[in-house]
């Protein structure tokens, strides 16, 4: 539909949509940075969505049963910011719009979770939004099964662009959504056929309709500038029995006289001349950031229309039994169950007495078997490696279309999609997600893992087969550099537990975390229980602690993690037999140790002694503890990997790469 027809046949809609376009153009122009074209093209679709279909209350941004709206095409951020301002979100002031993309603004260049109410997830990297939304849709189904549709019954709406659909993660996400028949998920495709390089057709020939249909979705289409046609498609989408793609055919930069339908309006301001000409075409005679009072009032009425539905929902929530209501509110507020600490304490006591020799991946399974029954909001899964990651425990049941109470997701071989879905599971509320794969495949999950850290989503990544100790699968599967990568990521706890006790403590911390994701790097090979004396204290919470003190004068400190702690203890025996007093420090989490005060770090790593670190990985993260913290180059050494691994049994690999107790002892003696 062209602008003249749209203005003539839908004048009220036109005014509402044009307010979005004007704010987007003005904000990008003022910032001299941004993407005006997509908001200009999507304004009609967004207006119909918010006016007629989206269940929300601008005065209650955290309403548990609101529809979730995810702008997967995050470069179109001014579309969302304009909507939040116009509908009356308290934090989305006009001053914030004016400070778009500037220091301290809530309205960052791309939508950032936690900066501004109404932003459900961070959507900068393309494809992450649509993939995160799949996790939100799963969470909604899970919560509805547990608490009933009277209190949990809403949709997940997504606006995705051509770039979102090109990114490989989107195929992982839509395949999972189709398999799960997520009829609460509706994706509105901004089909404008433009990317930064030009027409989509210069790089892609995909038939998106056939692609989504092949993945189990229903596909609809509409003219993205005809409000009646948009409304028809969205109304039909809400009735579907499976996830829906709505192909909204739009024109990027709609109305710009020389830049519409071209890449030139994608990522740059219009410029004063083009902006003025566009407003003239729109019939919008107002100055920068000026919205007529009656149009703002109409938008605020749209923002308030959900208040009645919210009040009715609150009545239904209050009708639940006190215990069920309290549990619902605890889970949605992400409060930690009081049962977690007692379950971990009991587990640790039993295991310190039994002293099993098990792989830490098996220890993780044992912990989960104790924890999952008492924390009903955990939802686990694996990227087709359940029998290797050991992430499934008795009684969980598979989450499937015919069993929404199931708490185990068969993600398939979709590491990146799994990680993004885990972000969505948590962001929706009511779920504590964990998911597993081989540690080396963090490479495939990396984009979403980074967003976990950026957003403060405490997802738990169960990463097994953590070193060359996995053996015969060889260097493609042996993650020598991945500990360094994870430890280099801000706001991430990387745990590499040495035994079943440290594994339990790591899980307690991971499931108690409020804003920090956890990576559990777990062994394939069996490891002995090293802490056989029960302690109620969580020593892993300190990040590092003295596992075995020196006998006699302390001359050396050996630091180690995971499977190499056992090697460090054996090296100590060799050294102590030669009257070389040696302390062994287990360091299951460098990040938590770095967070301790100076006095504690000095207590663990005092000056003077030789320091040697041993880990079946690259040295890079260890230099702070070897050379810093009162250490010196002359008295520091590392025993570990300098390159990639090889294919052979684990014991042979440790011998060939020189990661042995004897080698550690010799390294210490060479530095004395």
Which pLDDT tens digit goes with each residue over 379-431? 999 999 999 999 999 999 999 999 999 999 999 999 999 999 999 999 999 99
Which CATH architecture best describes the domain 543-670? Answer: 3-Layer(aba) Sandwich (3.40)
pLDDT category at 519 given cuts 50, 70, 90 is very high
Which pLDDT score is estimated for 152? Answer: 98
Which pLDDT tens digit goes with each residue over 108-146? 999 999 999 999 999 999 999 999 999 999 999 999 999
Distance CA(196)–CA(188), nearest Å, equals 20
Tell me if 441 is assigned to a ligand binding site. Answer: yes
Mean pLDDT of all residues belonging to the chain: 98
Which pLDDT tens digit goes with each residue over 456-492? 999 999 999 999 999 999 999 999 999 999 999 999 9
DSSP 629: T
| Overall CATH class of domain 339-528 | alpha beta
Which pLDDT score is estimated for 458? Answer: 98
Tell me if 35 is assigned to a ligand binding site. Answer: yes
Distance CA(537)–CA(590), nearest Å, equals 18
Listing from the earlier edge strand, what are the strands of the sheet with 156-161?
Answer: 68-71, 156-161, 185-191, 244-249, 218-223
Mean pLDDT of all residues in 55-70: 98
Tell me the H-state helices in 372-435: 386-389, 415-428
Which pLDDT score is estimated for 35? Answer: 97
Which pLDDT score is estimated for 354? Answer: 98
pLDDT category at 579 given cuts 50, 70, 90 is very high
| CATH level 3 topology of 3-309 | Rossmann fold (3.40.50)
Give Cα separations from 408 to 76, 187, 362, 403 (angstroms).
35, 25, 17, 10
Tell me if 388 is assigned to a ligand binding site. Answer: yes
Is there a contact between 497 and 562 (Cβ–Cβ < 8 Å)?
yes
pTM of the model as a whole:
0.98
Tell me if 543 is assigned to a ligand binding site. Answer: no
**Closest listed residue to residue 486, CA positions, set 514, 513, 459:** 459
**Closest listed residue to residue 97, CA positions, set 410, 105, 563, 440:** 105
Which pLDDT tens digit goes with each residue over 617-655? 999 999 999 999 999 999 999 999 999 999 999 999 999
Phi then psi for residue 581, to 5 deg, are: -60, 125
Distance CA(73)–CA(190), nearest Å, equals 9
Q: How many CB atoms lie within 10 A of CB 110?
A: 20
Distance CA(179)–CA(217), nearest Å, equals 9
Mean pLDDT of all residues in 268-278: 97
Which pLDDT tens digit goes with each residue over 187-197? 999 999 999 99
Distance CA(289)–CA(19), nearest Å, equals 9
Distance CA(501)–CA(574), nearest Å, equals 25
Tell me if 446 is assigned to a ligand binding site. Answer: no
Mean pLDDT of all residues in 443-461: 98
Instruction: Identify whether 415 is a catalytic site residue.
Output: yes
pLDDT over 90, % of the chain: 100
**Closest listed residue to residue 299, CA positions, set 82, 70, 107:** 82
Distance CA(406)–CA(386), nearest Å, equals 15
Tell me if 361 is assigned to a ligand binding site. Answer: yes
Which pLDDT score is estimated for 331? Answer: 97
Distance CA(622)–CA(626), nearest Å, equals 6
CA-angle at 511, arms to 508 and 515, nearest 5°: 125
Tell me if 569 is assigned to a ligand binding site. Answer: no
Tell me if 126 is assigned to a ligand binding site. Answer: yes
Phi then psi for residue 491, to 5 deg, are: 55, 50
Tell me if 477 is assigned to a ligand binding site. Answer: yes
Which pLDDT score is estimated for 620? Answer: 95
Distance CA(63)–CA(120), nearest Å, equals 12
Which pLDDT score is estimated for 438? Answer: 98
**DSSP β-bridge partners for residue 157:** 69, 186
Residue ranges of domains in the chain: 3-309, 339-528, 543-670
CA-angle at 56, arms to 34 and 255, nearest 5°: 35
Tell me if 194 is assigned to a ligand binding site. Answer: yes
pLDDT over 70, % of the chain: 100
CA-angle at 361, arms to 360 and 365, nearest 5°: 110
How far apart, in Å, do the first and last CA atoms of the chain sit? 82
> Of 120, 140, 181, 415, which residue is the catalytic one?
415
Mean pLDDT of all residues in 349-378: 98
**DSSP β-bridge partners for residue 198:** 195
Provide Rg for the chain, Cα atoms: 28
Burial classification of residue 98, based on how many CB atoms lie within 10 Å of its CB (0-12 exposed, 13-18 middle, 19 or more buried): middle
Tell me if 375 is assigned to a ligand binding site. Answer: no
């Amino acid at each position: 539909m062209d602008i003249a027809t749209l203005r003539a046949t839908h004048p009220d809609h036109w005014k509402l949509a044009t307010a979005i376009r004007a704010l987007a153009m003005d904000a990008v122009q003022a910032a001299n940075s941004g993407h005006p074209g997509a908001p200009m093209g999507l304004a009609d679709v967004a207006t119909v969505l918010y006016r007629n279909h989206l269940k929300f209350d601008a005065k209650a941004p955290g309403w548990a049963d609101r529809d979730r709206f995810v702008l997967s095409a995050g470069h179109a951020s001014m579309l969302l910011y304009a909507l939040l301002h116009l509908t009356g979100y308290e934090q989305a002031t006009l001053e914030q719009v004016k400070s778009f993309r500037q220091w301290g603004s809530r309205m960052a260049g791309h939508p950032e979770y936690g900066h501004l109410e109404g932003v459900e997830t961070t959507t900068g990297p393309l494809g992450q939004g649509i993939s995160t939304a799949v996790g939100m849709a799963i969470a909604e189904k899970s919560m509805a099964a547990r608490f009933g549709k009277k209190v949990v019954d809403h949709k997940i709406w997504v606006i995705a662009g051509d770039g979102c659909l090109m990114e490989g993660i989107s195929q992982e996400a839509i395949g999972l959504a189709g398999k799960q028949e997520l009829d609460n998920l509706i994706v509105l495709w901004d089909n404008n056929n433009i990317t930064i390089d030009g027409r989509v057709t210069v790089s892609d020939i995909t038939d998106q309709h056939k692609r989504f249909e092949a993945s189990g979705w229903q596909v609809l289409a509409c003219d993205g500038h005809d409000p009646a046609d948009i409304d028809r498609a969205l109304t039909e989408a809400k009735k579907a029995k499976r996830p829906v793609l709505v192909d909204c055919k739009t024109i990027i930069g709609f109305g710009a006289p020389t830049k519409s339908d071209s890449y030139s309006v994608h990522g740059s301001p219009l410029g004063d001349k083009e902006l003025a000409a566009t407003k003239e075409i729109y019939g919008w005679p107002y100055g920068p950031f000026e919205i007529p009072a009656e149009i703002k009032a109409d938008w605020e009425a749209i923002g308030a229309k959900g208040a009645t539905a919210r009040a009715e929902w609150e009545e239904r929530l209050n009708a639940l039994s006190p215990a069920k209501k309290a549990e619902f509110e605890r889970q949605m507020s992400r409060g930690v169950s009081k049962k977690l600490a007692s379950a971990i304490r009991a587990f640790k006591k039993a295991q310190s007495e039994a002293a099993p020799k098990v792989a830490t991946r098996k220890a993780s399974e044992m912990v989960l078997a104790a924890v999952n029954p008492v924390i009903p909001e955990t939802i686990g899964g694996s990227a087709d490696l359940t029998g290797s990651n050991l992430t499934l425990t008795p009684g969980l049941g598979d989450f499937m279309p015919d069993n929404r109470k199931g708490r185990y997701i068969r993600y398939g071989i979709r590491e990146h999609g799994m990680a993004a879905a885990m972000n969505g599971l948590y962001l929706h509320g009511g779920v504590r997600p964990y998911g597993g794969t081989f540690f080396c495949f963090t490479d495939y999950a990396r984009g979403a893992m980074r967003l976990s850290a950026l957003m403060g989503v405490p997802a738990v990544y169960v990463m097994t087969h953590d070193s060359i100790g996995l053996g015969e699968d060889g260097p493609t599967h042996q993650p020598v550099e991945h500990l360094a990568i994870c430890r280099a990521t801000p706001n991430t706890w990387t745990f590499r537990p040495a035994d079943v006790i440290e594994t339990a403590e790591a899980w307690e911390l991971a499931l108690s975390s409020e804003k920090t994701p956890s990576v559990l790097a777990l062994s394939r090979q069996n490891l002995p229980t090293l802490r056989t004396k029960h302690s109620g204290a969580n020593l892993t919470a300190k990040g590092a602690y003295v596992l075995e003190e020196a006998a006699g004068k302390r001359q050396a400190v050996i630091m180690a993690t995971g499977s190499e702690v056992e090697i460090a203890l054996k090296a100590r025996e060799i050294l102590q037999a030669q009257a070389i007093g040696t302390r062994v420090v287990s360091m299951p989490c460098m990040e938590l140790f770095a967070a301790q005060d100076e006095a504690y770090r000095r207590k663990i790593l005092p000056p003077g002694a030789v320091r040697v670190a041993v880990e079946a990985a690259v040295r890079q993260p260890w230099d702070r503890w070897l050379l810093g913290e009162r250490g010196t180059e002359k008295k520091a050494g590392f025993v570990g990997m300098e390159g990639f691994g090889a294919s052979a049994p684990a014991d042979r690999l440790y011998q060939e790469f020189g990661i042995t107790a004897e080698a550690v002892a010799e390294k210490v003696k060479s530095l004395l």
